[in-house]
Structure 1
Amino acid sequence: MLGSNTRTQRSVSSVQLPAEFIASASAAPHFNYLTKDFVIDLRRKENKETPQDNGDERRGVSKTGLKDLLHQRWEAAKKFDAFNYSLNCMYRCLDGQYELSMQLNIERGDLRRKPMHFKNIKEPFNSHRFNFTKLNDREVMMYLKCEDDPLSDDPLDRHLVAVNASPLERDHSLIIPSVNKCLPQVLTPLAVRLAVDLMLLAQDDGFHVLFNSLLGQASVNHLHLHCLYWPYDSDLINRKHESLHDVENAYVIRPPRWLCSAFVFQLTDVNLYSKFKENIFKCVEYLTTQNQAHNLFFTRAQPIRVTGPDREEDRKGLRPQYVTAYIFPRTNMIGAKPPNNFNPAANELAGNLTAYTIRFFEAATEQAVVRIIEEEASLADDVFQNLCFDLADILSARPLGTSRPSKNSLLEGLTSPEIDELRDSFQSFMPRSPTIRDRKDRTQSAPERVQFHVS
């Protein structure tokens, strides 16, 4: 195990491991790549997913493309019993406006590691709880290294891809940035970069990178992201968006165009690579400072539209496919929620659902799914709108609060009779007296009081 002896135990502190030890800590190959290997548009990709030959004959350097190496190493891990179960999933598509897909994965609900209990978005790393320094060597699939633009200035940093012992789909793996630094589950610029780089290197429109914050369905407080393939496209890629106020290349989508609200960024040109990563990090950094749980979903999508029909599918496959990031701010989930029907995390908020019981899998409807997401994840409209105002200020380098309308601006454009009528309507409103049941309900927390069960 990576943390099984005296020397590796030091990796759970702020003291890093000797470089020569880390290099030999695992037999996993290195995946070395160049920024010229990035594919911005899958529709116009050149054949870049070919064996690498950069003149580097050092031991352990991969000569295989990312997609192939990821699959080979994931399949090889089966021989060492690295997984808690064998994938035996069923799928169905739900009727409705959102084109949701649902997977039945009973084993994941029963056999995955019990999620930990968290109280805040930013909790310090705890070496006494499960973390990825405790991985077995055979669970490490590869190390990541960018040849022409180093991922880190620290030569001791090791960025790895490891198996997910309780997978959702084939090749479901964990991306662990700077594993030796033992960072908590809070996105860093490096983590965002790794997510973007892998999306640009994997030449498959079914490949996704996911992130769940603490209080947003993350189960381990050690910085990691997920990468996996999903057999169905998320209908998010077909939806019309709206611009984030006056910010260039920043968008939002919200109900009823999608089942929950999200900030959206898209990489359409290699020259915008740095700005794309910067915008994503600024967004999640702001949500973290607000102690607002969030989920990220990276996918390939057609060019974002702000005009035309609410839904428009690229049936002929002629439009570009760009790396697109959807950031879902969501209600904070205090404590560990055991698997019931399904848990709304990054993949689920994007419309790719995993059911843990055959009963829910067979009986679930789009209406039922939307109701669960509204109760357990969706933010109130006014809360999301305030986040939009603040994020627009941050991305535009304006003082916070600049975009928020003043109280007086809410009445601008109304005539005096309309203002009087509005005032009278508020004065005539009399709230009903609370019943005994109302008073009792207010003493309970929302998750305990509001539950949905499919009969």
Structure 2
Amino acid sequence: MVDCTVFTYTNEDFISDVCCGQQTRSRFDMALRCGWTEKRNAGLFRYHLDELETRILPGPCAYIAQLNIMRGVERRKPQEILSVRQNFDPQQFNFNKIKPKELLFELQKDARRHQNGSKRTCKVIINVSPLEFGHCLLVPEPDRCHPQVLTPLAVQMGIESVLLSADPGFRVGFNSLGGFASVNHLHLHGYYLNHQLRIETSPADPILPKKNLYHLLDFPGGFLFYTQGPNLDLTVNAVCSLTDIMVDRNIAHNLFITRGCPPRRERDPSVSRNGVRVIVWPRLSCFGAKEESAFNVALCELAGHLPFKNREDYETVTEDGVQEIIRKYLLPQEEFRELQKHVMKC
């Protein structure tokens, strides 16, 4: 992958005071938003993304439905996935093959180096088939050709990018292989969604509080990690410990990183979003090529953001209908409880 502008940062750049509805933009936000807009205006996307038609579904979950027909029509054909542990294939499309103009910048934390002295980096590139404004891909160490399996660096860069943003609407997510990942080359999605999500304030029960691990109580239930930084080692290691277990067991999963409230047993009505929630959902695997006409349940949908590719579904979907579809993809409760017991022993 070619060289590009380097965005260097330290822990001092993390934004600690964030509230719902605030319009403040950080240095990171300016770099991402301006760069992304320039790429859009230069015609580098497969379609022009204007403000999306959006409706909030009636019901307590307040699902956010958006109509994005062109993404279903124009996006790159997903790769065929046969295992959560599938090896990287250099013959398939990967992010070392993108056009140089698709690069936005390189994220580089000051003084972050391998033991051998080389810098650990993350390329930020546009998603040429965007879901929302600012939709980009975070690609850690692209030249090392990691398969789509989370690494500590990937998790850390995901959390840190959210901490670098002053916008509570900036989200980061990950789809594992079998969890509707389209490309088997390690990457996370980042984008802006200027609507509150229920998971920002959802109640949670403690599982291993010393590891910042909780059980998300709202549907769809999952594992919740919480941190306010700046030291992320404990949370990063706990997240990777969980995802490593799932990879070993060939359990597909989705991850979503968002600003949110500290976990409590009751819903938090606060508008403060000073911390970061990392939610991990184990789920049933979907192997084979994606069916792009289907309502795919991946990181966005599990978080309550529902991109639709056709108007009929967008206009007629209900909260009950959404939950009925999502429920088909969730890990059965008995298997979830068994996984939780295993995690508690580690």
Partner residue of 1:411?
none
Decide whether the 8 Å contact of 2:8 with 2:107 is kept in 1.
yes
Once residues 384 and 156 of structure 1 are traced to their aligned partners in structure 2, the CA distance between those partners, rounded to angstroms, is 38
2:35 aligned counterpart, secondary structure: helix
2:33 aligned counterpart, secondary structure: helix
Structure 1, unmatched stretches of 5+, are 3-24, 51-64, 395-455
Decide whether the 8 Å contact of 2:225 with 2:279 is kept in 1.
yes
Is residue 269 of structure 2 the alignment partner of residue 313 of structure 1? yes
2:7 aligned to 31, 38, 45, which one?
31
List structure 1 segments (4+ residues) > 2 angstroms apart after TM superposition. Answer: 39-43, 78-81, 148-159, 245-249, 268-271, 311-314, 339-342
- Report deviation, 1:152: 7.4
Once residues 215 and 79 of structure 1 are traced to their aligned partners in structure 2, the CA distance between those partners, rounded to angstroms, is 34
Is residue 340 of structure 2 the alignment partner of residue 384 of structure 1? no
- Report deviation, 1:261: 2.0
Once residues 129 and 176 of structure 2 are traced to their aligned partners in structure 1, the CA distance between those partners, rounded to angstroms, is 18
Once residues 290 and 151 of structure 1 are traced to their aligned partners in structure 2, the CA distance between those partners, rounded to angstroms, is 29
Once residues 81 and 243 of structure 1 are traced to their aligned partners in structure 2, the CA distance between those partners, rounded to angstroms, is 47
Decide whether the 8 Å contact of 1:261 with 1:329 is kept in 2.
no
Partner residue of 1:346?
299
After superposition, residues 187-198 of structure 1 pair within 5 angstroms as 187-198=150-161
- Report deviation, 1:136: 0.6
- Seen in structure 2, the aligned counterparts of structure 1 residues 173 and 320 have a Cα distance that, compared at 3 Å, is closer
2:325 aligned to 361, 366, 372, which one?
372
Decide whether the 8 Å contact of 1:341 with 1:357 is kept in 2.
no
Letter matched to residue 192 of structure 1: V
- Seen in structure 2, the aligned counterparts of structure 1 residues 231 and 195 have a Cα distance that, compared at 3 Å, is same
- Report deviation, 1:277: 1.1
2:82 aligned to 102, 106, 119, which one?
119
Partner residue of 1:266?
226
Letter matched to residue 66 of structure 1: F
- Report deviation, 1:97: 2.1
What fraction of aligned residue pairs are identical, expressed as a percent? 32
Name the structure, 1 or 2, with higher relative contact order (CA <8 Å, separation 6+). Answer: 2
TM-superposition CA deviations, 1:387-438 (whole Å, max 9, x none): 11011111xxxxxxxxxxxxxxxxxxxxxxxxxxxxxxxxxxxxxxxxxxxx
TM-superposition CA deviations, 1:12-50 (whole Å, max 9, x none): xxxxxxxxxxxxx34x3110111222234425xxxx966
- Seen in structure 2, the aligned counterparts of structure 1 residues 320 and 133 have a Cα distance that, compared at 3 Å, is closer
Once residues 142 and 302 of structure 1 are traced to their aligned partners in structure 2, the CA distance between those partners, rounded to angstroms, is 30
Once residues 116 and 296 of structure 2 are traced to their aligned partners in structure 1, the CA distance between those partners, rounded to angstroms, is 38
Partner residue of 1:42?
18
Is residue 29 of structure 2 the alignment partner of residue 70 of structure 1? no
After superposition, residues 186-265 of structure 1 pair within 5 angstroms as 186-244=149-207, 248-254=211-217, 257-258=218-219, 260-265=220-225
2:96 aligned counterpart, secondary structure: helix
- Report deviation, 1:245: 6.0
- Report deviation, 1:285: 1.1
The TM-score, its normalising length taken from structure 2, stands at 0.93
**Larger of the two Rg values belongs to structure:** 1
Once residues 277 and 98 of structure 2 are traced to their aligned partners in structure 1, the CA distance between those partners, rounded to angstroms, is 31
- Report deviation, 1:81: 2.4
